[in-house]
Homo-oligomer: A and B are copies of this chain.
Amino acid sequence: MADWLDEVRFSEDGLVPVIAQEAASGRVLMVAWMNREALTRTAATGEAVYWSRSRGRFWHKGEESGHVQKVKEIRLDCDGDVILLTVEQVGGIACHTGRESCFYRRLDGDRWVDVEPVLKDPALIYRK
């Protein structure tokens, strides 16, 4: 049994939010979820494995797109209920919209403005 997993405070539904941050640029790429098994697999394999709530299954990030996340560091916050991954984002694209980061909308006065370029057409990313 891995005691370090017991220090993570998973929610009632067994999940913990996970931030992925690009190691080189410091950009916050995305937030997803892990359960105990996903976190175990991530630590063991060195590649981010999330739990997809919408699909109800494990999600090895990049399994379709090739945009895997190579994990450099795994951190836990003071409350033990958020994980921060420092990653090398292969392909430079974390978002399913083809952008580097999922956080591409910036509040400008009273509206959200897209401020990040689409680096690759999602139709070309997910054409398998």
Contact = CB atoms under 8 A, between A and B. Distances in A.
Interface of A: 2-4, 7, 17, 19, 21, 25-28, 30-31, 43, 73-79, 82, 84, 95-97, 99, 102-107, 110-112
A106 B73 contact: yes
A107 B43 contact: yes
Nearest to A54: B79
Q: How many copies does the complex hold?
A: 2
Nearest to A79: B102
B77 A96 contact: no
Contacts of A82: 31, 102-103
A77 B116 CA distance: 11
Contact of A105 (B76, B102, B106, B107): B76
B107 A74 contact: yes
Given A75-B103, A82-B102, 13 more contacts: A19-B19, A19-B28, A21-B28, A28-B28, A31-B77, A31-B82, A75-B104, A75-B106, A76-B103, A76-B107, A77-B102, A78-B99, A78-B105
